Amino acid sequence: MITFYPDIKLVHIGAALTSGTLFALRGLGLSLGMRWPRVAPLRYLSYTVDTVLLTAAMMLLTILPAGVFANGWLIVKVGFILAYVVLGVLAFQPARARLSRVALYAAALLCFLQVYGIARAHHPMGLLALLG
Ligand code: HEM
Question: Which of 17, 44, 64 is the last residue in one of the domains?
Answer: 64
How confident is the model at residue 130, as a pLDDT? 74
Q: Is 49 in the pocket of ligand 1 (CB under 6 A)?
A: no
Q: Is 78 in the pocket of ligand 1 (CB under 6 A)?
A: yes
How confident is the model at residue 129, as a pLDDT? 86
Nearest alpha carbon, ligand 1 atom 3: 16
DSSP letters for 41-95:
HHHHHHHHHHHHHHHHHHHHHHHS-GGGGTTSHHHHHHHHHHHHHHHHHHHT-TT
Residues 78 and 97 in one domain: yes
Domain total in the chain: 2
Residues 77 and 109 in one domain: yes
Q: Is 98 in the pocket of ligand 1 (CB under 6 A)?
A: no
Q: Give the C-alpha distances (Å, rounded to integers) separating 69 from 34, 63, 89.
A: 41, 12, 28
Question: Which of 64, 85, 111 is the last residue in one of the domains?
Answer: 64
pLDDT digits over 29-62, tens only?
Answer: 999 999 999 999 999 999 999 999 999 999 999 9
Residues 45 and 99 in one domain: no
**Nearest in space to 19 (alpha carbons), one of 127, 128, 109:** 109
pLDDT at residue 132 greater than cutoff 90: no
* Residue numbers of the domain that contains 95: 70-132
pLDDT digits over 66-112, tens only?
Answer: 888 899 999 999 999 999 999 999 999 999 999 999 999 999 999 99
